[in-house]
Amino acid sequence: MQHYIDRFLEMIAFRGLTDNTLASYKSYVKSYLSYLETYLNKLPEDVSWEELREYFSFVQKSRKLSDRTINAHISIIRFFAMYVLQKPWDRYQLPFRKFDTYMPAVPSQEEARHFIDTLPNLKHKAIVALMYSAGLRVGEVCNLKYSDISRKDMKIYIARCKNRSDRFAFLSRNALDILTQYWYRYGQPREWLFPSTQNEGKKPIVPFTVNRIVNDHIDRLGWSQKMNCHSFRHGLGTHLYENGVDLLTIQRLLGHASINSTTIYVHIASNRNSTIKNPFDYPGAAHV
């Protein structure tokens, strides 16, 4: 089955995806090929539509995957069928799943500050302070280098973010103070800003570790389990909007490729704003 994987990687490389995305897509294909070998003893070009549907039912139930994740999985297998197997794809035979859309869990401004203030480890405090104050994705904060921090301009250089473009995030004065304390206390790292405790600091801290740090502190505080690292990025976008910053500026600061991604903060802020007065309650409104 290895030649199928090699051909898949060769074809998908033309799309110019990031290494992390390629690794994720490769894992989808390997999982599919392993299933065919283990359960069906078939080559992928011989699989029927019914068997393909059974595979996706199996993988969703066994791994408890969301419909959104299953749709991503279907997209990759479609690419594999069309460009590796050279087979036509019938979208009516394997339609995408419908899924519910939920508002992301977002801390209030007070909760975000309390979360950061109560972190017992200074390195962890600096990481979360940057994630929140600069609206960084967990992968972005992990891959920060010492040279990416500009104290003079109060900016953070983010290289090759999710939409494959560079950007500058703004640097909070309070976050810089925490970062400076961390930097001096932890040996003044000159390469990776947050080096891993393994490999003699030659590699950066990994997202899994940061996610665990955040989840552990969420447990200590007794917060909702729906909160995660990305909640702090959403928190910045929401709080900027609540403080009167326009959506185009928020889009630029967070590095959204489309303004549609930014408009979610309008809905979050509106749902939380208890100061809005209903027009029916204004003086002079009709009463029965």
Write the pLDDT tens digit of every residue in 44-63: 999 999 999 999 999 999 98
Hey, do 2-84 and 109-272 end up sharing a CATH topology, with the first three levels equal?
no
Q: What pLDDT score was predicted for residue 202? A: 84
pLDDT higher than 80, residue 84: yes
Amino acid code (one letter) for 170: F
Phi then psi for 231, rounded to 5 degrees?
-60, -30
User: What are the tokens at 267?
Assistant: 């809905």
Q: List the one residue out of 188, 185, 207 whose CA is nearest residue 196.
A: 207
- Radius of gyration, alpha carbons of the chain: 23
pLDDT higher than 80, residue 95: yes
Q: What pLDDT score was predicted for residue 185? A: 96
Q: What pLDDT score was predicted for residue 273? A: 59
Fold for the domain defined by 109-272:
hpI Integrase; Chain A (1.10.443)
Phi then psi for 66, rounded to 5 degrees?
-75, 160
pLDDT higher than 70, residue 87: yes
pLDDT higher at 32 or 226: 32
* Range 2-84 has CATH code 1.10.150.130: yes
pLDDT higher than 60, residue 272: yes
Q: What pLDDT score was predicted for residue 286? A: 53
Q: Is 186 helix (H, G, I), strand (E, B) or coil?
A: coil
Q: What pLDDT score was predicted for residue 158? A: 92
pLDDT higher at 65 or 247: 247
pLDDT higher at 12 or 102: 12
Q: List the one residue out of 113, 177, 171, 112 whose CA is nearest residue 144.
A: 171
User: What are the tokens at 217?
Assistant: 């502190």
168 DSSP β-pair partners = 157
> Per-residue pLDDT tens for 102-153?
778 899 999 999 999 999 999 999 999 999 999 999 999 999 999 999 999 9
Stretch 181-210: mean pLDDT = 91
Least confident of 61-75, 93-107, 189-203: 93-107
> Per-residue pLDDT tens for 241-257?
988 899 999 999 898 88
DSSP E strands in the chain: the ranges are 149-150, 155-158, 167-170
Binned at pLDDT 50, 70 and 90, residue 206 comes out as very high
Per the prediction, the chain carries an average pLDDT of 88
pLDDT higher than 80, residue 97: yes
* Separation of alpha carbons 209 and 241, rounded Å: 30
Stretch 4-12: mean pLDDT = 91
Sorted by where each begins, the domain ranges of the chain are: 2-84, 109-272
* pTM of the predicted structure, to 2 decimals: 0.70
Stretch 151-170: mean pLDDT = 82
pLDDT higher than 60, residue 162: no
The per-residue b/e assignment along 228-246, b for 16 or more CB within 10 angstroms, e otherwise, is bbbbbbbbbbbbbbbeeee
CA-based angle 252:181:189, to the nearest 5? 80
